[in-house]
Structure 1
Amino acid sequence: MMNAKNTARWGVGALTIALVAGGGGYWLGQRGGPASEAESTQSGRKILYWYDPMVPAEHYDNPNSLSSMGMKTIPKYADEAPAANAAPGISIDPTARQNLGLRVATAEIGSLPSTLTVTGTIDFNQRNVAIVQARSGGFVTRVYGRAPGDVIGAGAPITDLQLPEWGGAQGEFLAVKRLNKPELAAAARQRLRLMGMSDGLISQVERTGRTSGTVTITSPISGVIQTLDARVGVTLAQGQTLAQVTGIGTVWLNAAVPEAQGWTVRIGQSVNATLAAFPGETFTGRVIAILPTTQPESRTLTVRIELANRRGRLRPGMFASVALGGDQKQALLIPSEAVIRTGARTLVMLALDSGRYRPAEVRAGREGGGKTEILQGLSAGEKVVASGQFLLDSEASLTGIAARPLEGGK
């Protein structure tokens, strides 16, 4: 009989040593050694039940039981429960803390580095587009060697048009001028303006006394010719488009931001971009729009960034790496490794006074640089366990220690 008891004792002892050596840490606090009712009586400690630390919800009434995982059970002592006046939590002796390698960090107020790096491509600024049209029916008499894709400056000639209607209106204006009736002359001049003639052309007709039905159409802005429909000999209708010019003084950088990170981007946010075409150079811009649709293939949002394009070096289609700098507002931060995510809730293990520990429910926010923002459930100056907290959480669950609620109650 004694041999059987000794065998059971040494079997459980060996199992306990193996668990501790493997980093299990299930001997936390003062729990320890006896594995039989006889030894419990000799030590004066009352055994409540036996259990497998891997399956703490299963309770057994004798030391020779095997758990559902096939492991030998260990005793749960009545004196392991905290005193009635003690703060909620589990107690760990210094030796156990050292063996487990517990590391504690303090919750502090700081700035979360939230720079998000994504990719993007350069595109034309579609808000800077000029449509060149024929203001009257006529004929194309000359094209100034232009083609789609050409870069032209503001005022550059595109085509010459012969507009018979303009010539007739100018003749009527000169006839009214000879009548020496200022009111009629003013009305005739206004008519020429409404037909699309510039003040310079009207002054030239008034000064020379000759009509000019030929007009040179110029680009109102500098940029790239996107379309060009003017060809020599083509008959034009009033309002027909001759060319479309897109400005290149500024360009758009369309960045693909993962939808899960979309909340970190805001209108007006500063952005830094680098391009392979210009190594070592950084281009600064700002977010001007967050498009309302998500790309279904990549699950990304398109963030539109405006960049200055000095000397026209940034060309549509270029690939860019985009650094979206987040706001630098102050936040309560703890090491990300201290956060325990169970799926249903988020916990941290508080390090209390006198070597006691207690789980606390928190609401986590942004992450970056190895830090996590705590929105609720923790105060500045409180200490949390950053290493070994999962073993402590298991021990707290085993001993029935409830987590401090999110509202900050006791």
Structure 2
Amino acid sequence: MNTKPRKHLVGLTLLAVGIAIGWGLAQWNPAASSAAGSTHAPAAAASPERKVLYWYDPMVPTQKFDQPGKSPFMDMALVPKYADEGGGGAGLSVSPQAIQSLGLRTAVVEQRAVASSIDVVGTVLLNERDVSIVQARSAGFVERVYARAPGDVIAAGSPLVDLLLPEWLAAQREFLAVTALKDAALSAAARQRLLLLGMPETLVARVESTGEPQGRYTVQAPLGGLLAELMVRQGMTVSAGMSLARINGLGSVWVEAAVPEAQSGPLQPGQTAEVRLAAFAAEVLKGRVVSLLPEANPQTRTVRVRLELANPGLRLKAGMSGQVRLLGAEQTALLLPSEAVIRTGKRALVYVVDAPGRFHPVEVQVGAEIGDLLVVQRGLAAGQQVVASAQFLIDSEASLKGLMPQELAAAEPALRPGASPAAFTVLGVIEDISTTEMTLAHEPVPALKWPAMTMGFKLADPKLATGLKRRQTVRFSFTQQGDDYLITAVEGVSR
């Protein structure tokens, strides 16, 4: 009989018995039982409660609420924002693969000396300060009009018209009669009378030297320039004080340019400028700002700036156009690429690089644009890195996560669900009005830190525009809804 299979069977049986005994001891041993219980405790214990920072509407993530409830903007429940999700001051993480696929570029905020300048289009105009009006000093008749026409360029002293002046003729004869009496006092008084009648000193001297009255008088141009108007013709009767001609000097010309209102603040009279006219493209003309006109254009939101240029050789002609560069003083400023700034209408944002793949938004105040760079007045420091491309995609992701600049998040109070946005009441003058919108020049709004300005508002109800008209003073109340400001009530005010 073969005993080998039997030995195998016995061995397997003993092994099974040993395993069973070991399992039983493990179940009975208190230490082992405690260890097993501790091993399963984390899985059985409830996870700690997550901290809620605020609630928000995913469609309007910038508005925060301190309690759950229904969104006042959309027909949906508010969503909690947890502390372990980031946002509200935390940065935004972007994977290296996403950065590469987006083609994300960064730029460094630089501090350097720049000479601010503004490039605008200008038009050459006649210098309206260099104008002479020629008038008749006594009643008479036009005997001759010299070959002149409006638009002619004439020299100083050029004859314009010959006038026959009977009143001057009678006064000169009286003067000659008094002079014949050899009475110095009477002669001086008669001579003074001729001057008071408007006779030039040269004409009176000619009457004295010739002893003959000079009833015919030739009117001459007092200065050289453009004969803008000639208001007399041969045979006309003229009265004392009647305008005969208008002459505009050409020794200097004006160049007027329309500067955007946002860039007009630093401009000052006396500031230097460079002008490049299309007619003389290779030549740079030097000029200076003589005045800033006191009214802005309400349609284009520009301010008119007037320059004065010398006009040697009378080359510059009214109506010419060209490029004007207004030069400012050199100053030190922080600069960043214009493409790095996101303008939302209410604020300007940039995304600062905290570490490779991590960014956070910062609100900035920007100034003048110099080429493809912007002057940063507040919000950044020299040496910081900012996102220069693909920042709109990052901004969209940040908005979905409720990520906002820290100072703005702290400044915006949380609303209770169902509560209406705060309303502000202020006086204003209607500049433009329709059934859906109203443009008002309103007083300051201290609660929003707004200065007095002109801006557009939407109307909550078209009936609010009933009975109102332009230039009317009104008291109106408005609220903010998203990026829009909505007028909820308006009434006329008598002043």
Within 5 Å, give how 1:6-405 maps onto structure 2: 89=91, 101-111=104-114, 114-118=117-121, 120-258=122-260, 261-263=263-265, 265-293=267-295, 301-318=303-320, 320-327=321-328, 328-352=330-354, 357-390=359-392, 393=395, 402-405=404-407
- Letter of the 2:108 counterpart: A
Q: Secondary structure at the match of 1:348?
A: strand
User: Residue by residue, what CA displacement relative to the aligned partner does 1:63-100 show, whole Å, maximum 9, x if unpaired?
Assistant: xxxxxxxxxxxxx9997769xxxx95456787876776
- Letter of the 1:159 counterpart: V
Distance 1:321 1:354, change over 3 A: closer
Per mean C-alpha deviation after superposition, the further-off stretch among 237-246 and 172-181 is 172-181
Which segments of 5 or more consecutive residues in structure 1 lack a partner in the other structure?
A: 1-40, 58-75
Question: How high is the sequence identity, in percent, across the aligned residues?
Answer: 47
Shift of 1:131: 1.4
Aligned mates of 1:197, 1:77 — CA distance in 2: 95
Would the aligned equivalents of 1:286 and 1:306 in 2 still touch at CA under 8 Å? yes
Aligned mates of 2:191, 2:338 — CA distance in 1: 75
Count of matched residue pairs? 339
- Letter of the 1:165 counterpart: E
Would the aligned equivalents of 2:398 and 2:404 in 1 still touch at CA under 8 Å? yes
Please give the TM-score of this superposition, normalised by the length of structure 1.
Answer: 0.68
Would the aligned equivalents of 1:104 and 1:351 in 2 still touch at CA under 8 Å? no
Would the aligned equivalents of 2:293 and 2:305 in 1 still touch at CA under 8 Å? yes
Would the aligned equivalents of 2:108 and 2:383 in 1 still touch at CA under 8 Å? no
Would the aligned equivalents of 2:120 and 2:258 in 1 still touch at CA under 8 Å? no
Shift of 1:223: 1.2
Shift of 1:188: 2.2
- Letter of the 1:116 counterpart: D
Distance 1:279 1:47, change over 3 A: same
User: Residue by residue, what CA displacement relative to the aligned partner does 1:272-331 show, whole Å, maximum 9, x if unpaired?
Assistant: 33333334233333333444555577665544333322222222233x122232424332
Distance 1:317 1:371, change over 3 A: closer
Shift of 1:238: 1.5
Aligned mates of 1:355, 1:298 — CA distance in 2: 42
Which segments of 5 or more consecutive residues in structure 2 lack a partner in the other structure?
A: 1-42, 52-57, 62-80, 412-495
Aligned mates of 2:158, 2:387 — CA distance in 1: 70
User: Residue by residue, what CA displacement relative to the aligned partner does 1:350-369 show, whole Å, maximum 9, x if unpaired?
Assistant: 33479854322222222232
Distance 1:398 1:313, change over 3 A: closer
Aligned mates of 1:263, 1:354 — CA distance in 2: 39
Distance 1:379 1:303, change over 3 A: same
Aligned mates of 2:226, 2:105 — CA distance in 1: 65
Shift of 1:170: 2.1
Match of 1:25 in 2: none
Distance 1:172 1:277, change over 3 A: same
Shift of 1:341: 2.8
Please give the TM-score of this superposition, normalised by the length of structure 2.
Answer: 0.57
- Letter of the 1:238 counterpart: A
Aligned mates of 1:222, 1:384 — CA distance in 2: 60
Aligned mates of 1:105, 1:134 — CA distance in 2: 71
Aligned mates of 2:401, 2:316 — CA distance in 1: 64
Would the aligned equivalents of 2:140 and 2:238 in 1 still touch at CA under 8 Å? yes
Per mean C-alpha deviation after superposition, the further-off stretch among 131-140 and 303-312 is 303-312
Aligned mates of 2:284, 2:360 — CA distance in 1: 48
Shift of 1:406: 7.0
Aligned mates of 1:122, 1:160 — CA distance in 2: 35
Q: Secondary structure at the match of 1:115?
A: strand
- Letter of the 2:323 counterpart: V
Aligned mates of 2:376, 2:245 — CA distance in 1: 57
Aligned mates of 2:83, 2:219 — CA distance in 1: 98
Q: Secondary structure at the match of 1:277?
A: helix
The structure showing larger relative contact order (alpha-carbon pairs under 8 Å, at least 6 residues apart) is: 1
Instruction: Give the root-mean-square deviation of aligned CA atoms.
Output: 4.0
Distance 1:274 1:107, change over 3 A: closer
Would the aligned equivalents of 2:109 and 2:381 in 1 still touch at CA under 8 Å? no
Aligned mates of 1:210, 1:90 — CA distance in 2: 101
Distance 1:278 1:104, change over 3 A: closer
